[in-house]
Amino acid sequence: MAKKKKRIRHVESEGIFHISATFNNTIITVADKKGNAILWASGGTQGFKGSRKSTPYAAGIAAKKCAMNVKSLGMRSAEIWIKGPGAGRDTAVRAIKATGLNITAIRDKTPIPHNGCRPPKPRKV
C-alpha cells in the first residue's frame, strides 16, 4: 500500500475570526477573506461539557487554540467579527490579541430587531 502524502495547507496572510457567542457555547471560526473556513474551535471541542462550555474561560481557550494554529499556518493579521450575546465575547477577543496576531478591525454583527415580531392577536374571553 502506498503511503498517503500529507496535504500542505496554504493560508493567506489576512483572515477573519468569526466569534459566535451564544448562551450555551462560544464557537470561533477562522476564514480567509473570501469566506472559506480554515479551521474552527469551540468550548465543546476543548473538552468542556455542560454549563462549563458557556464560560468565558472555555471561550478564551478555544480562541487561543484557533489563533495559535492559524498563526503557525502563516496568517499575520485578522479582523474579528462578533455575533451573539454570550459570556465569552470579550475573553475570546483578548485571547486572540494575546497570541500576537495583528487585529485590524473588530466588528459586532449581533442581529438587533428593529421592530420585532408581530405580537399575538388579543385573547377572546
Question: Which of 51-76 are b and which e, b meaning 16 or more Cβ less than 10 Å from the residue's Cβ?
Answer: eebbbbebbbbbbbbbbebbbebebe
pLDDT tens profile 51-81 = 999 999 999 999 999 999 999 999 999 999 9
52 and 25 in contact (C-beta within 8 Å)? no
* Separation CA 94–CA 17 (nearest Å): 13
Smallest CA-to-CA distance from 39 within 60, 68, 77, 59 is with 68
pLDDT tens profile 25-56 = 999 999 999 989 999 999 999 999 999 999 99
pLDDT tens profile 72-118 = 999 999 999 999 999 989 999 999 999 999 999 999 999 998 998 89
Residue ranges covered by each domain of the chain = 37-102
81 and 30 in contact (C-beta within 8 Å)? no
What 8-state DSSP symbol labels residue 99? T
Smallest CA-to-CA distance from 37 within 59, 62, 11 is with 11
* Separation CA 73–CA 10 (nearest Å): 7
- Domain 37-102: give its CATH architecture: 2-Layer Sandwich (3.30)
pTM of the full predicted structure? Answer: 0.84
pLDDT of amino acid 125: 85
pLDDT of amino acid 32: 92
What 8-state DSSP symbol labels residue 87? T
